């Protein structure tokens, strides 16, 4: 079976962008592939989070993954920091990553703008740590959203450089989505991608209660509707259709699509329908995640088993890496 790896940063509750770009694919992939999924707690340290909050967030992400249908028996679900081989590979790869290319990374440039007083070296080498996450499992498919595409390209560059210098150790991984292209869910206000740090009323969290979900969706950006038949949809409208495709029945989606194409769409009605279907979709995930999060023994077992499974694979890779570099003395 092909090896799959992906990770999510524990920076608060997960939102629909994470679900679409990542978790939905994880759940589908777990039956077909040899899967490793992890919570990227080390990556979060670049923003100096509160220690207690970080711990809670890690537990929450584990619980939400399981609540969405990920089966810890089928996959290795682990916390990044419990697998020290990641950090060792990160060190080796840092010697093959250049300051110029790291400074040009879009996510780095964004962070410099967001936290100008904390431009630490970890932030600069974020893509190297991410490459280590992937390559330490010699993964070939990486289910992620569109925003991670550049990081995957950098991972392939680092892997190629390593293979060229030390001999073939790593396959070249590809970003993966079951659809035709990588997913990008927009913020409900139509401004950029849905994310944890943007306007909270425009981000739908898997932890939001039914009323809040309704409120957020009813506030989503729309306009006065198309003026000619079969017009192209503006991206914020396309986004609502995408969300509807996830949670509503095909008939409902079809109906609103036809209404749009015939210029008779009523966005108020569409949003009402979407709000109800979304609330129904998120409700069980929210309840299940809360129950799992309260079960400390279960979480502890998932995390321990996950680390054990992951380390069988990462140890094998690190051995091959050390042999290739020639740092094997004992």
Tell me if residue 111 is catalytic: yes
Task: Check 52, 109, 184, 196 and give the catalytic one.
Answer: 196
Q: What is the CA radius of gyration of the chain?
A: 21
Binding of residue 40 to ligand TYM (CB under 6 A): yes
Tell whether 271 is in a known binding site.
no
- Strands, E, within the chain: which ranges? 3-8, 34-39, 76-79, 141-143, 174-176
CA diameter of the chain: 74
Minimal CA–CA distance to 131: which of 100, 165, 112, 105?
105
Binding of residue 173 to ligand TYM (CB under 6 A): no
Q: Which residues pair with 176 in a beta bridge?
A: 143
Tell me if residue 193 is catalytic: yes
- Strands, E, within 26-75: which ranges? 34-39
Question: Looking at 51-59, 116-124, 193-201, 258-266, which segment touches ligand TYM (CB under 6 A)?
Answer: 193-201
Shorter beta-carbon distance to ligand TYM: residue 202 or 248: 202
Binding of residue 97 to ligand TYM (CB under 6 A): no
Cα distance between residue 190 and residue 245, in whole Å: 18
Tell whether 221 is in a known binding site.
no
Binding of residue 4 to ligand TYM (CB under 6 A): no
Task: Check 109, 184, 193, 255 and give the catalytic one.
Answer: 193
Binding of residue 183 to ligand TYM (CB under 6 A): yes
Tell whether 145 is in a known binding site.
yes
C-alpha pair distances (Å), 230 with each of 222, 223, 225: 17, 16, 12
Minimal CA–CA distance to 249: which of 274, 230, 232?
274
Tell whether 17 is in a known binding site.
yes
Exactly one of 3, 4, 8, 58 binds ligand TYM (CB under 6 A); that residue is: 8
Exactly one of 7, 72, 226, 306 binds ligand TYM (CB under 6 A); that residue is: 7
Chain positions 75 to 94 lying near ligand TYM, rule: CB under 6 A, are none
Cα distance between residue 199 and residue 44, in whole Å: 20
Angle in degrees, CA 82, 83, 84, rounded to 5: 105
Query: Hey, what are 134's tokens?
Result: 């992937």
Task: Check 74, 104, 111, 272 and give the catalytic one.
Answer: 111
Three-class SS state of 7: strand
5's CB contacts (< 8 A; 6+ apart) are 35, 36, 37, 38, 133, 134, 137, 139, 142, 173
Binding of residue 20 to ligand TYM (CB under 6 A): yes
Question: Looking at 13-21, 65-73, 82-90, 295-303, which segment touches ligand TYM (CB under 6 A)?
Answer: 13-21
CA 48 vs. chain centroid, Å, equals 20
For residues 269 to 308, the per-residue mask of contacts with ligand TYM, x marking binding by CB under 6 A and - elsewhere, is ----------------------------------------
Exactly one of 24, 43, 111, 221 binds ligand TYM (CB under 6 A); that residue is: 43
Tell whether 194 is in a known binding site.
yes
Binding of residue 195 to ligand TYM (CB under 6 A): yes
The residues carrying an active-site annotation are 111, 193, 196
Residues that bind ligand TYM (CB under 6 A): 5-9, 17-18, 20-22, 40, 43, 130, 133-134, 142, 144-145, 147-148, 183-185, 193-195
């Amino acid at each position: 079976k092909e090896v799959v790896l992906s990770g999510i940063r524990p920076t608060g509750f997960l939102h629909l962008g994470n679900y679409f770009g990542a978790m939905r694919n994880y759940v589908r992939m777990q039956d077909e592939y040899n899967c490793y999924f992890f919570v990227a707690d080390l990556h979060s340290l670049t923003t100096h989070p509160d220690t207690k909050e970080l711990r809670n967030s890690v537990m929450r992400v584990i619980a939400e993954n399981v609540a969405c249908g990920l089966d810890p028996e089928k996959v290795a679900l682990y916390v990044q920091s419990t697998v020290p081989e990641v950090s060792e590979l990160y060190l080796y790869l840092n010697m093959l990553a250049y300051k110029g290319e790291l400074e040009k990374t879009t996510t780095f440039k964004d962070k410099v703008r967001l936290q100008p007083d904390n431009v630490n070296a970890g932030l600069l080498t974020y893509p190297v740590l991410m490459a280590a996450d992937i390559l330490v499992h010699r993964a070939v498919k990486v289910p992620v959203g569109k925003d991670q595409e550049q990081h995957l390209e950098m991972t392939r560059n680092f892997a190629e450089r390593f293979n060229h210098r030390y001999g073939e150790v790593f396959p070249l991984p590809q970003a993966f989505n079951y659809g035709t292209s990588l997913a990008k869910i927009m913020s409900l206000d139509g401004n950029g991608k849905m994310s944890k740090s943007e306007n909270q009323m425009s981000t739908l969290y898997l932890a939001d209660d039914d009323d809040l979900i309704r409120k957020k969706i009813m506030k989503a950006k729309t306009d006065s509707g198309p003026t000619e038949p079969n017009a192209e949809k503006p991206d914020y409208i396309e986004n609502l259709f995408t969300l509807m495709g996830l949670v509503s029945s095909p008939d409902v989606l079809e109906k609103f699509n036809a209404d749009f194409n015939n210029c008779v769409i009523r966005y108020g009605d569409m949003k009402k329908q979407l709000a109800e279907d979304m609330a129904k979709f998120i409700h069980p995930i929210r309840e299940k995640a809360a129950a799992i999060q309260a079960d400390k023994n279960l979480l502890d077992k998932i995390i321990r088993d996950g680390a054990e499974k992951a380390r069988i694979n990462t140890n094998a890779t690190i051995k091959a890496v050390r042999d290739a570099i020639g740092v094997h003395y004992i």
